[in-house]
A and B are shown apart, each in its own frame.
Chain A
Amino acid sequence: MDIINGLVQGFSVALLPVNLMWCFVGCFLGTVVGILPGLGPAATIAMLMPLTYGMNPASGIIMLTGIYYGAKYGGSTTSILLNIPGESSSVATCLDGYQMARNGRAGAALGIAAIASFIAGTVGVILLTLMAPPIAQIALAFSSPEYFALMLLGLSLVVLLSGASIVKGVLSLLIGLWLTSIGTDLFTAESRYVFGQTVLVGGIDFMVVAIGVFALSEVLSSIESRDETNVLPVPRGILNLLPTWEELKACRFAFVNGSLVGFFVGVLPGAGSTIASFISYGIEKAVSKHPEKFGTGVPEGVAAPEGANNADSGGALVPLLTLGLPGGSATAIMLSALVMWGVKPGPLMMEERPDVFWGLVASMYIGNVMLLVLNLPLVPVFAQILRVPVFVLFPMILGIAMVGAYSASGRIFDLALLAGFGLLGYLMVKFRYPTAPLILGFVLGDAMERALRQTLMMSQGDITTFAERPIAAAMLAIAVLILLTPLLGYFNRWRTKAIEG
């Protein structure tokens, strides 16, 4: 009953006209920021924080949080249309989203992304409403061994992401793992693979890798094909720009999968929405009846990661509000904003400042509806971008890619890296190496290595600690099962042959 009372109080705060306005401002700014590659929600919230100094804490946090989850709605736009991820959490959306656009289903992909974002975003808020304090306790049970198991589970998905050749997939994964190890090692404070370059000491930015391998390599491939008539098809008629009933039906499981995976991974302070989106994509592919079609433009390949990165927003607020622990940089700024207003996020916040806590939660229900209404009408508009002739479109992609990679860090060196990764991506595509495992290795590798070393330091080098922890053991078992599936395939083929023989 507390929850219902809380929600009633929350809506009485969130429905005040001034708060509705700030909610809209936040969601609108978030959408814009999400669409622009390179400009992320963290930087935007940091820049706008001074404007909120004089605001009432509920209004202020409603707006800042609106930017946070609004950016995840907008992030899919350039992923789908231009193969340039708008945010790191939208990288997984490129895999099938851009392929859908190439098949003439750009509008459908954008629509599915918006609908998946809405459904999963709302489920995330519902879960936040119903079970914030208990789920925070579950998150605390998660430590290094569990993180390692989760990351390994994610990496085992490489088997599923690698397409025809597992050997090529694993090679691609290893390159990703190597790239992510460049920089300063946390445990020894020593540099790895920096070759004496100051610019490499901090490691390589994920967005530079993703934009290079996806967007730039696509431009290079198209230059090679010299096929100027090959404009991406855009169907005429507004109905053809929206997802069909069949496409939406194919996404049924993806909506659930994205919602749950996104929320639960979001609750963990050491994971984040990029990891959530990849794991959700992998699960979608693992349970699909036609896994071989993933990567060629299936709607559920868009719905799962887009759902996951939006459900993540609700999840990430659980440790922020109930434990005072932000999981990423955007939530960290929201924490310092709350502290500045005198609201203290932590175990006592729900009791001491119910107006802010429930006001924020209620505003997220409203914000998700606003975002859907804001984003769906934009779908046909954005889809028109693909009508632009190739000799304009590809230079434009190149320009946006460079701006995106540069503004993520502000270093010229990153443009050189971008070119390098573009070339790498181009060569990989040309020689039929899958690029998704490289990206996956880069995303998960660093966190996985850290978690393994932490685990072994905690257990004084005893590896059986994994078996003693049920959550970790279960996830490791699933990972092993996934890794064994291709062997099963070999075995089946061998058996069929033997029987036929």
Chain B
Amino acid sequence: MDMSVTSSASQPKRRFLHEWRRGETLAAWLFMLPALIGFVVFFGFPAARGFYIGLTEWNLLTEPEYIGLENYRELIQDDEFWHSMWVTLYYVLLNIPLQTVLALVIAVVFDRFVRGSGWRSLLLLPWLMPNVVVALLFLWILDPGLGIVNEFFEAVGLPSQSFLGSVDQAMPSIAGINIWRHVGYTALLLIAGMQRIPRDLYDAGALDGASEVKMFRDITLPLLRPIMVFVLITSIVGSFQIFDTIAVTTSGGPVDATRVIYWYIYQEAFERFNFGYASAASIILFAILVVVSLVQLRLLRANESDLS
């Protein structure tokens, strides 16, 4: 301030910049106002309120009654809750390994042998479709009576299957449906990671007579680790939150075989009106997702990139 009074040449410019800057704080908050309202009202406040609702007994119509950790105590002893946790974990274990391996195969083929990026967009098509649409397409394809898969089985002499109508096959069927929707998108992200691996590594490998399998194991896989961590964390966290496909195809059945944690929370809140209990269950799921992410980061040492 004082400086600007004494120095003559740059005085107008400086004062101008100073004035400009003073308004800066106000302008910044004005620019952020709509987004901040959105953040506070629909992210910050609900997140805090979710914790609080989890400490109450509440049916939405009467006043919530504070009961401390009672909901959590009950949840730990609730067989239905644990059942839905196991069912969810079972789904994740059916979904993620197969999806990741298939995506890796597709990604290697695209990265190594398919020139041009035009074909890559095809990978995206299933992922752009609404879950509800995908679920309905496969509900028909897998129909026990008239579905084309069973018609094919009969034609080649195999017994027909119930798929989504069977306790044993419902969850693998759901996993298959979601693999169809997600495998291309996963491959697309892996391709992006692979394209950052220097091409001369492969050329050198080829000159040494290394096979594609060997190059995949010794070059691609180790150098792909950072993107692999990202892909695995987002797909596992997403996989834990499966709901739409189940809501449209099995509604948690048959006999609770697909009653995943999201479906359990939905039923507790919106069918039984136990809002407190359901909130507590969602907080536990949240905690599990945080732990899963942290463990994966640690196991896969995400911050170490062999390329940089």
Please determine whether chains A and B interact with each other in the same assembly. Answer: no
